[in-house]
Amino acid sequence: MFYYFSRFLVRLALPIYLKKLCVSHFDRLPKGKPLLLASNHPDSFFDAVVIGSVLSQPIHTLTRGDVFKKPAAAFWLRQINLIPVFRGSEGRQYLKNHDVTAQESHDALKKDDAVVVFSEGICVNEWRLRPLGKGTARMAYKIWFGEDALPEMKVIPTGLNYENFRGPGKRVALKFGVPISQEEITTSSSDYEKWLREFNEILEIRMNEIILTVPEDLPVQERNNILKTYFSECKSPARDNALLKGLGWIGRILHAPLYTFFTKKTAQLTGRSVFYDSVLFGMLMYIYPVIVGILAVILGAFAGWQAGLASFVALPLLAWVGSKYK
């Protein structure tokens, strides 16, 4: 239940947080089949938020296991369908959980849900595909050839391309690549290591087709020019209405103190880490409605329920207008 509530909030909040989300090749996702989405991982938990916002079926996301070590955090992360993945470097006591991770993913796919795996195995704020780990290949092998196999499952190369990695007002290009089916791997399943290598070779080619590559040693101006050209195809509609621009200004003024508090708090919590977008968006998505609700109740107590209800509706609308009409 909490997952569907969160997805509802995401679909309300993401259009405010992003300037534009452009989705390409959505028709490459087969309907009514289990999907393993093999994605790059440039912006921490926010990557799963973006992917999940466009899918109709529930998604289950494989996530670094260390964030599950505190029971309270683990409980809430489970509520939004996150599945922990522990590395051997985190302690031998966690190796036994690998089978649990695989089984939970398999159970989700049996329901024709989607499982998201970040195939690079690490999150870095950059514009390129990092070398792929073997985790995605191992999972595909187990699902296609293991016990209670699902040969109809498709692996969907998924590319997330961000205009920047820190804060709202950005454009994001989400692209889906050509699906990989079991039959495409010509290596015999009995030759396990060779099979994994061929799978990764195919996956890497198809992911690179949909992921923007910007050399990390480029001067900032050259990088910005590449990003400007790339996102020129992800256009937001012209917004020239003077009245709405005026309302947008009012919306930004009203929300400025609260937004400043959230951004400063997020910076304190995350520093210069890759978690900035995830934490800021999560705080805005979950805490902002509570604050608006409290303000509406207070206003309603003094000015009547009509005024309280009007403020509860008007404040989020002003936030949306303020983000779009500048």
Domain locations along the chain: 2-231, 242-324
Reported as a single tens digit per residue, the pLDDT across 209-260 is 999 999 988 999 999 999 999 999 898 877 889 999 999 999 999 999 999 9
Contact 239, 245 (CB under 8 A): yes
- C-beta atoms surrounding 270 within 10 Å: 17
How many whole angstroms separate alpha carbon 249 and alpha carbon 296?
Answer: 21
Percent of the chain with pLDDT over 70: 96
Percent of the chain with pLDDT over 90: 81
State the pLDDT confidence band at 87, using cuts at 50, 70 and 90: low
Residue 97 has pLDDT above 70, yes or no: no
Looking at residue 75, what is its pLDDT? 86
How many whole angstroms separate alpha carbon 218 and alpha carbon 30?
Answer: 38
Looking at residue 96, what is its pLDDT? 54
Q: What is the pTM of this model?
A: 0.92
Domain 2-231 has CATH 3.90.1150.10: no
